[in-house]
């Protein structure tokens, strides 16, 4: 859901932090990271610079509202349907109109977006405190939600712990680890006042061509994925934030991205119930407070290929309420996704249809004009009898029950243990690295060789992606490991690597980071560097779905040099390198995954992970 296409806004202070972080990273294995950096002459907590996460987000002093022209006008009286539209906005602080509407009692809560609202964790905590302070006295806390899945989607930005994607948890296969990761993610979200996290993803990774799923799925086995999703739910809920199962009834088998078009779930009813829905049944048993719908057509349930599940009563009531017996809050995926109608009338029609289908909350994007249209359209629909007042009252009660389940903004929370969370991220990355095969016997690398690391500049492959903010670190991690090598695992590995002391090594590591997708000139430049190497380490992130990256990969392989391929994101890329003899999968672009992979490449560690999906052919 996160990130509106074409609207990425990287704050200047984030760019400065990234540059500073890069400089620090070169000096040591783990530069110190703080979850809320010191004030940069802008953000204040009780008039003082913010140095770390505030213990209590509500204790932050709310700033006066001085921004106008955004949000839904507070001059219009509230209405029963207003409680079903979750708001969104542009900016690092709430617009005055939104605060007025909150004060009037017509807002159930907000969704925060990385590209629209997040500059730093301290700023988010202050923003949330300002929102909560605007509530009428005696009302329960507002819903404040965000996409903070881990892996490729970090809605709270790069100050949070860089856990590898859910596929990494699938490669380890231990629900206990999944619960700990969920608890850590939840604790970091709760520390800044977030009370709903849009996670975990319960979709099965059964369609390699699905461009939006990437690292977000736990795998393709319903039993294993169900156990991991349930554990992740337990972790989030243990941390005091509400978990959100997504995307009902499952979109992993759809070959298109619902951010851009309506896909069709191509399964019959028995398969759907035995496969996709098995995950949701297992995860629901863990007690999540929300379920998010998928904007995909489900003809097995509706008999139609043009009706998104979010608008279908057969899904949102007959399945979710009657069959699965879910009594919590049902929320749509984002309303600005192009699987739904985006014309002026269509936006309102689909919003009405979703509430009629049984949805409780509509997840708006930060478009004030669209929110006004939807809000006013829902009011009109109730007046004209298009919405059932009794059903709406039941739905409103579910939303209110969710809000009452939150701890008050003044509740004390334990401080976030940043060191423990980073150690947990290292553990996950290390245990997830998977050796698909080493038929060429290239592992570990010899310190006598000249090694060229080729890796793409990370980018977002879907709007549900924040990878563009990640620095490429595979080559850097290998270079650092090369300079301080660990002992090989066994005598055979030692013989292959050569008994060369670090100061006697005759080889070295060079790194080429190419733009992604690469141009013909980029490919030519990479190939020119290949000629000087003895061994190639080739990072791959999107070769299965991007023809340009696939062409670069094949061009490098055709040179015939000994090459180790590292699939850094989805195992779907294994289909492109079936003829390569040595292949690893790391399931992550973040620093911990790169360091874990470098340890395997140099023989300092094994690769204990197992593919959580069938190897694509």
pLDDT digit string (tens) for 31-88?
323 333 333 323 322 222 333 333 334 333 333 333 334 555 444 468 999 999 999 9
Query: Which residue in this structure is represented by tokens 């190419």?
Result: 514
Q: Are residues 319 and 387 in the same domain?
A: yes
- Given the residues 333, 350, 426, 465, select the one marked as catalytic: 333
Q: Are residues 128 and 252 in the same domain?
A: yes
Which residues are bridge partners to 361 per DSSP? 331
pLDDT at 587 over 70: yes
Measured CA to CA, the distance from residue 39 to residue 576 in angstroms comes to 47
Instruction: Give 313-345 as a DSSP string.
Output: HIIIIIIIIIIS---SEEEEEETTSTTS--SHH
Residue count of the chain, please give it. 617
Mean pLDDT of the chain: 87
Segment 432-441, tens digit of pLDDT: 999 999 999 9
Instruction: Using alpha carbons, list the distances in angstroms from residue 401 to 121, 356, 405, 472, 535.
Output: 28, 20, 6, 44, 60
Q: For 209, what's the count of Cα atoms within 13 Å in the CB-facing half-sphere?
A: 7
What Rg, from alpha-carbon coordinates, does the chain have? 25
- Domain contains 442: yes
Measured CA to CA, the distance from residue 149 to residue 164 in angstroms comes to 10
pLDDT at 345 over 70: yes
Which residues are bridge partners to 585 per DSSP? 434, 567
Segment 127-165, tens digit of pLDDT: 999 999 999 999 999 999 999 999 999 999 999 999 999
Lookup: tokens for 321:
């309420």
Instruction: Tell how far CA 601 is from the center of its chain.
Output: 27
Q: For residue 39, what is the DSSP state?
A: P
The range of the structural domain enclosing residue 206 comes to: 12-55+91-404
Q: Please give the average per-residue pLDDT across 292-299, as a whole number.
A: 98
Measured CA to CA, the distance from residue 227 to residue 374 in angstroms comes to 38
Q: What is the pTM of this model?
A: 0.86
- Domain contains 70: no
- Domain contains 392: yes
Q: Output the domain CATH number for residue 219.
A: 3.20.20.300
Q: How many CB atoms lie within 10 A of CB 343?
A: 8
Q: For 405, what's the count of Cα atoms within 13 Å in the CB-facing half-sphere?
A: 20
Q: For residue 489, what is the DSSP state?
A: S
pLDDT for res 502: 39
Report residue 613's pLDDT band, with 50, 70 and 90 as the boundaries. very high
Opening angle at CA 164, ends 55 and 291, nearest 5: 70
Q: Coil, helix or strand for 155? A: coil
Q: Are residues 369 and 507 in the same domain?
A: no
Q: Are residues 446 and 389 in the same domain?
A: no
| 21 assigned to active site | no
Q: Are residues 275 and 391 in the same domain?
A: yes
Measured CA to CA, the distance from residue 94 to residue 117 in angstroms comes to 9
- Domain contains 499: yes
| 590 assigned to active site | no
Helix and strand numbers, DSSP H then E, in the chain = 20, 20
Q: Are residues 379 and 437 in the same domain?
A: no
- Domain contains 462: yes
Q: Where among 404, 419, 451 does a domain terminate?
A: 404
Q: 143: closest CA among 74, 87, 100, 99?
A: 87
Contact 218, 225 (CB under 8 A): yes
**What phi and psi, each to the nearest 5 degrees, are found at residue 334?**
-60, 140
Domain total of the chain: 2
Q: Please give the average per-residue pLDDT across 79-98, as a whole number.
A: 96
Q: Are residues 267 and 198 in the same domain?
A: yes
Report residue 374's pLDDT band, with 50, 70 and 90 as the boundaries. very high
- Domain contains 131: yes
pLDDT at 297 over 50: yes
pLDDT at 256 over 70: yes
- Domain contains 73: no
pLDDT at 460 over 90: yes
CA dihedral 415, 419, 424, 426 (to 10 degrees): 150
Segment 476-525, tens digit of pLDDT: 999 999 887 445 445 554 454 443 333 344 579 999 999 999 999 999 99
Contact 291, 229 (CB under 8 A): no
Measured CA to CA, the distance from residue 404 to residue 363 in angstroms comes to 20
pLDDT for res 352: 97
Q: Are residues 560 and 480 in the same domain?
A: yes
Instruction: Tell how far CA 192 is from the center of its chain.
Output: 18
Measured CA to CA, the distance from residue 424 to residue 371 in angstroms comes to 40
| Residue burial 240-270, b: 16+ Cβ < 10 Å; e: rest | bbbbbbbbbbbbbbbebbbbeebbbbebeee
Q: Are residues 447 and 391 in the same domain?
A: no
Question: Residue 149: enclosing H or E segment and its boundaries?
Answer: strand 148-150
Q: Please give the average per-residue pLDDT across 215-233, as a whole number.
A: 97
Measured CA to CA, the distance from residue 60 to residue 111 in angstroms comes to 20
Percent of the chain with pLDDT over 90: 80
Residue 565 region, left (φ>0) first, then alpha (ψ -120 to 50), else beta? beta
* 26 vs 381, residue with greater confidence: 381
Instruction: Using alpha carbons, list the distances in angstroms from residue 83 to 135, 226, 360, 508, 580.
Output: 13, 32, 9, 61, 55
Instruction: Give 537-570 as a DSSP string.
Output: EEEESSTTT-HHHHHHHHHHHTT---EEEEE-S-
Q: Please give the average per-residue pLDDT across 285-304, as a whole number.
A: 98
Q: Coil, helix or strand for 512? A: strand
pLDDT for res 414: 80
Q: Are residues 284 and 357 in the same domain?
A: yes
Q: Where among 355, 385, 404 does a domain terminate?
A: 404
Q: Are residues 118 and 253 in the same domain?
A: yes
- Domain contains 558: yes
Q: Are residues 239 and 148 in the same domain?
A: yes
Q: Output the domain CATH number for residue 567.
A: 3.40.50.1700
- Given the residues 84, 247, 259, 514, select the one marked as catalytic: 259
């Amino acid at each position: 859901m996160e990130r509106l296409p074409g609207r990425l806004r990287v704050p200047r202070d984030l760019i400065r932090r990234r540059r500073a972080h890069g400089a620090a990273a070169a000096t040591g294995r783990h530069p110190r990271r703080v979850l809320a950096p010191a004030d940069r002459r802008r953000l204040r907590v009780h008039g003082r610079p913010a140095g770390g996460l505030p213990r209590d987000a509500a204790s932050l002093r709310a700033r006066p509202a001085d921004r106008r022209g955004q949000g839904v006008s507070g001059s219009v009286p509230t209405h029963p349907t207003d409680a079903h539209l979750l708001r969104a906005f542009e900016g690092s602080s709430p617009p005055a109109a939104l605060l007025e509407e909150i004060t009037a009692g017509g807002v159930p809560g907000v969704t925060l977006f990385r590209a629209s609202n997040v500059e730093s964790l301290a700023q988010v905590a202050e923003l949330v405190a300002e929102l909560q302070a605007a509530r009428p006295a005696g009302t329960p806390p507002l819903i404040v939600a965000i996409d903070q899945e881990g892996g490729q989607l970090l809605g709270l930005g790069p100050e949070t712990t860089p856990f590898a994607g859910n596929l990494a948890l699938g490669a380890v296969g231990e629900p206990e680890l999944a619960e700990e990761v969920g608890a850590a993610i939840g604790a970091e979200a709760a520390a800044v006042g977030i009370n709903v996290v849009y996670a975990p993803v319960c979709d099965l990774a059964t369609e390699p061509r699905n461009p939006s799923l990437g690292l977000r799925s736990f795998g393709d086995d319903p039993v294993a994925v169900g156990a991991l999703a349930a554990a992740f739910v337990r972790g989030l809920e243990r941390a005091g934030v509400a978990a959100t199962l997504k995307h009902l009834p499952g979109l992993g088998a759809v070959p298109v991205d619902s951010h851009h078009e309506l896909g069709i779930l191509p399964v019959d009813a028995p398969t759907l119930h035995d496969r996709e829905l098995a995950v949701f049944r297992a995860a629901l048993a863990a007690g999540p407070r929300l379920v998010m719908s998928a904007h995909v057509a489900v003809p097995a349930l509706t008999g139609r290929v043009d009706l998104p599940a979010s608008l279908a009563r057969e899904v949102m009531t007959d399945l979710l309420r009657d069959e699965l017996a879910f009594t919590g809050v049902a929320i749509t995926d984002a309303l600005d996704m192009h699987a739904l109608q985006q014309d002026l009338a269509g936006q309102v029609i689909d919003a009405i249809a979703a509430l009629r289908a049984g949805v409780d909350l509509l997840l708006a994007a930060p478009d004030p004009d669209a929110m006004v249209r939807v809000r006013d359209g829902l009011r009109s629909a109730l007046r004209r009898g298009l919405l059932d007042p009794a059903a709406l009252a039941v739905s409103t009660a579910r939303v209110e029950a969710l809000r009452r389940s939150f701890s008050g903004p003044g509740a004390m929370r334990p401080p976030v243990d940043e060191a423990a969370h980073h150690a947990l991220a290292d553990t996950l990355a290390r245990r997830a690295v998977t050796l698909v095969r080493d038929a060429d016997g290239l592992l570990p690398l010899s310190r006598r060789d000249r090694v060229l690391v080729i890796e793409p500049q990370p980018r977002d492959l879907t709007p549900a992606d924040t990878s563009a903010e990640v620095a490429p670190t595979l080559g850097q991690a290998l270079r650092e490991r090369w300079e301080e090598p660990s002992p090989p695992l066994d005598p055979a590995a030692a013989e292959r690597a050569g008994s060369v002391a670090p100061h006697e090594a005759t080889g070295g590591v060079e790194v080429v980071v190419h733009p992604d997708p690469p141009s013909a000139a980029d490919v030519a430049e990479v190939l020119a560097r290949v000629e000087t190497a003895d061994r190639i380490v080739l990072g791959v992130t999107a070769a299965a779905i991007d023809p340009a990256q696939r062409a670069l990969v094949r061009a490098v392989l055709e040179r015939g040099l000994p090459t180790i391929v590292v699939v850094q994101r989805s195992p779907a890329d294994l289909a492109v390198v079936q003829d390569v003899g040595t292949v690893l999968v790391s399931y992550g672009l973040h620093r911990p995954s790169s360091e874990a992979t470098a340890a395997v490449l140099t023989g300092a560690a094994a690769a204990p992970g197992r593919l959580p999906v069938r190897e694509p052919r």
